[in-house]
Structure 1
Amino acid sequence: MVAAASAVVAVGTVAGLVSALDDGPDGSDRARPTVTGSPSVLPMPAVPSRTTNSPSPKMSSPKPNKAKRTQKAPSATPRARGGSPAPNGSARLYRHADSQVLEWVRAHRSDPRRPLIESRIADRPAAVWFADFTPSTVTSRVRAVTSRAGAGQVPVVVPYAIPQRDCGGASDGGAPDVGAYDDWIDRFAAGLGAREVVVILEPDALSQTECLSEGQRADRYAALARAGRVMKAANPRARVYYDAGHSDWNPAATQAARLRAAGAASAASSDGIFTNVSNFNRTSDEV
């Protein structure tokens, strides 16, 4: 889809998604599921630079509408044992020990459903989402995940705090403005450590922009380009992937233009794209 997108990282529905939330002043992270919707969006022009004054239009919740997929992109992502995509052929994705499904398994040992849930869901690696805007603890919470992964294990983390997130829909929230978001990203990056880590940068942030003015879209693209650069500068072994929506959302050409505007074609900020997060489309439709 873009020049830098040599791999499609499908981390999401199959592997399971958990969210590291700030549950107290100690900065401990607990896993909770986070699911985002998949509404349709109207094609918007790519705007490469941030503006200084951007009005705030009224936000609304868009209605789902499947858009016809116009092209496919091949995937070159290697897979580790057990079918988990990994940054290289020997590493395996990290399974976070504090996910909600693991808590359920531990609390329901005699439940007849437990063996199936444990083998099909709880034993799978899971991306850890950071969806609450708490700058004071985000560094320690990210570090709590990245530092736990053992040798040969690669954690997958999801920064999810873009301003006007989900266009005011079911997953609304995020930073109050772009300046606050930039600061949050700096603090997030400080927790990435020095080992391999995969960053799934802001799901839906490029696919869903119809609630933004032209200036606000430019601000978002610039903020995402900066976020990728900050992550890779903080940890050169971090692999940062950008939002490509999914096969039933935007036309490929529309999504590609947004990806380029947000820095996904630059090796300084991006290692490729991700698709199908929190959705259930077949892999064959995505790649």
Structure 2
Amino acid sequence: MPSAAPSRRLPSVLGLLALLAAAPACSGGPGPAPGPPAAAPPAGAPAASPYWVDPGNEAARQVAAWEAVGRNSDAQVMRRIADRPTALWAPGGDPGPEIRRAVTGARAAGRTLLLVAHHLPYRDCGQPPAGGAPNAQAYRTWIGAFADGIGTAKAVVILEPGALAQTVDGCTRAEHRKERERLLSEAVDRLKRNRNTKVYLDAGDPASVKDPTDLVTPLAKAGLARADGFAVNVSGFQPDAAARAYGARISERTGNRHFVIDTGRNGDGPLPGDPARARCNPPGRALGTPPTDRTGDPLVDAYLWVKPPGESDGTCRGGPKAGTWWPSYALGLARRARD
């Protein structure tokens, strides 16, 4: 999971040159060799999606860079990511300026902003990208600035990916569990003071939690009753059906609470084999169901692209550091997409 979203501003000429220099050939990395041009999806967010598309997202910058040198076929394929809404992972430090920038864009477009809060102390069990707030009080200050940045704008917040799953898999030290649940509960309350903010507590996925009912008590302690629901498959590769079944098991034990599913990279499901290796830049994956709140499912509020497709999971399989844009991997995801 990325620790923070990179800047989404449109590149300068120098920025374009840098992107061109860094972009690998189509046949390098996980992405396949160039094929025939793909049909372009509609510009902007899909009609069924109420969410904001940041015009300066990394995929859009890549499209501009490739078009500038005549890589039009690849640019057309990359629009499958560039023209669809992905979540903004708020930066550490002061998240306010970046969130306010995004709020301005979303309001101008009449869309809902997708955000991820990922800054708890001791997050990610010390694995890359690790980091987070140095202590509980620093986190309270950070989540307050996060919420203030949203204000009255329409927003959906995915709260702390991995945080609760790590309390049931033995990864989080016992002395940190109660603090984590308390901080999550406080964060739900702070965010819900914003009248137009929806909050979904992260609840892992079938690859990270063997028995989803183990999360029922932690979710309750983290404030699920006051949130809008929970999120599953964030940064994961589980197909829609598996993620839905996993979420339904939690839902039936929590008063039929609704949930959202991250479908950004689950179009071909997980890579067969070692589950640990299958989670880090697995080759041959594809984009999943495009973001929408029209799911046709009474329990599933939305399919969302929470982990931005094309951002690396880490340095495994030749990838850049976690959270870094990886053009060849993104191109592979987009080229194999069915939508």
Q: Tell me the TM-score range normalised by the shorter chain.
A: 0.5 to 0.7
Q: Which residue does the alignment assign to 1:35?
A: none
Q: Is residue 2:206 matched to residue 1:247?
A: yes
Q: Which residue does the alignment assign to 2:136?
A: 178
Q: Is residue 2:189 matched to residue 1:229?
A: yes
Among 174, 180, 184, the residue aligned to 1:220: 180
- Could you say what secondary structure the match of 2:89 adopts? strand
CA root-mean-square deviation: 2.2
**Which one-letter code corresponds to 2:53 in the other structure?**
R
**Does the CA contact (< 8 Å) of 2:4 and 2:92 recur in 1?**
no
- Could you say what secondary structure the match of 1:163 adopts? coil
The 1:18–1:218 alpha-carbon spacing in structure 2 relative to 1, beyond 3 Å, is: closer
**Which one-letter code corresponds to 1:158 in the other structure?**
V
Structure 1 position 20, deviation (Å): 3.2
**Does the CA contact (< 8 Å) of 1:20 and 1:141 recur in 2?**
no
Q: RCO greater where, 1 or 2, for CA within 8 Å and sep 6 or more? A: 1
Structure 1 position 239, deviation (Å): 0.1
Structure 1 position 148, deviation (Å): 1.1
**Structure 2 length as normaliser, TM-score?**
0.56
**Does the CA contact (< 8 Å) of 1:161 and 1:175 recur in 2?**
yes
Structure 1 position 97, deviation (Å): 2.0
Q: Describe the superposition over 1:143-186 as per-residue Cα deviations: whole angstroms up to 9, x where unpaired.
A: 11112113541010111111111111022011011111111111
Q: Describe the superposition over 1:185-211 as per-residue Cα deviations: whole angstroms up to 9, x where unpaired.
A: 111111002121101111111111333
Q: Describe the superposition over 1:264-283 as per-residue Cα deviations: whole angstroms up to 9, x where unpaired.
A: 1x22xx10011111112111
Structure-2 separation of matches of 1:242 and 1:249: 15
The 1:94–1:18 alpha-carbon spacing in structure 2 relative to 1, beyond 3 Å, is: farther
Q: Describe the superposition over 1:221-262 as per-residue Cα deviations: whole angstroms up to 9, x where unpaired.
A: 0000101110111x1110000011112221111122211121
The 1:18–1:100 alpha-carbon spacing in structure 2 relative to 1, beyond 3 Å, is: farther
Q: Is residue 2:103 matched to residue 1:146?
A: yes
Q: Describe the superposition over 1:17-36 as per-residue Cα deviations: whole angstroms up to 9, x where unpaired.
A: 9943479xxxxxxxxxxxxx
Q: Is residue 2:161 matched to residue 1:161?
A: no
Q: Which has the higher helix share?
A: 2
Structure-2 separation of matches of 1:140 and 1:117: 28
The 1:171–1:18 alpha-carbon spacing in structure 2 relative to 1, beyond 3 Å, is: closer
Q: Which residue does the alignment assign to 1:275?
A: 232
**Structure 1 length as normaliser, TM-score?**
0.65
The 1:22–1:121 alpha-carbon spacing in structure 2 relative to 1, beyond 3 Å, is: closer
**Which one-letter code corresponds to 2:75 in the other structure?**
R
**Structure 1 unaligned blocks of 5 or more:** 1-11, 24-79, 85-91
Structure-2 separation of matches of 1:151 and 1:231: 23
- Could you say what secondary structure the match of 1:161 adopts? coil
The 1:94–1:19 alpha-carbon spacing in structure 2 relative to 1, beyond 3 Å, is: farther
Same amino acid, percent of matched pairs: 33
Rg larger in 1 or in 2? Answer: 2
Q: Is residue 2:244 matched to residue 1:284?
A: no
**Which one-letter code corresponds to 1:96 in the other structure?**
D
Structure 1 position 133, deviation (Å): 2.1
- Could you say what secondary structure the match of 1:113 adopts? helix
Structure-1 separation of matches of 2:129 and 2:54: 22
**Does the CA contact (< 8 Å) of 1:18 and 1:126 recur in 2?**
no
The 1:199–1:175 alpha-carbon spacing in structure 2 relative to 1, beyond 3 Å, is: same
What are the equivalent positions in structure 2 for 1:109-124 lying under 5 Å apart? 109=67, 110-111=70-71, 112-118=73-79, 120-124=80-84
Q: Number of aligned pairs?
A: 201
Structure-2 separation of matches of 1:143 and 1:258: 31
